Amino acid sequence: MLVSESEPITTTATSRQEFASVVAALEQATGRRLGNPQRRQCFEAFATFPNGVREVARTSLEDARVNPLGLFSWRIANGWHELDPLPPAREQATMLDSPSRRREVRGRGSCFVCERSSEDALWQAGQWWCSDHEAEAA
Ligand SMILES: [Zn+2]
Q: Are the C-beta atoms of 31 and 24 separated by less than 8 Å? A: no
Residues of the chain with pLDDT under 70: 1-11, 85-103, 138
* Å from CA of 117 to ligand 1 middle: 8
Q: d(Cα 111, Cα 26) in Å, to the nearest integer? A: 40
Q: Are the C-beta atoms of 53 and 42 separated by less than 8 Å? A: yes
* Å from CA of 14 to ligand 1 middle: 52
Predicted local distance difference test score (pLDDT) of residue 100: 45
Predicted local distance difference test score (pLDDT) of residue 84: 75
Predicted local distance difference test score (pLDDT) of residue 71: 93
Predicted local distance difference test score (pLDDT) of residue 24: 96
Predicted local distance difference test score (pLDDT) of residue 37: 94
- Report field, pTM of the whole predicted structure over 0.75: no
Give residue limits of the domains in the chain: 11-88, 101-137
Predicted local distance difference test score (pLDDT) of residue 97: 52
* Å from CA of 13 to ligand 1 middle: 55
Q: Is the dihedral of CA 80, 84, 90, 95 positive or negative?
A: positive
Q: What is the pLDDT of residues 32-58, one digit of tens each?
A: 999 999 999 999 999 999 999 999 999
* Å from CA of 106 to ligand 1 middle: 14
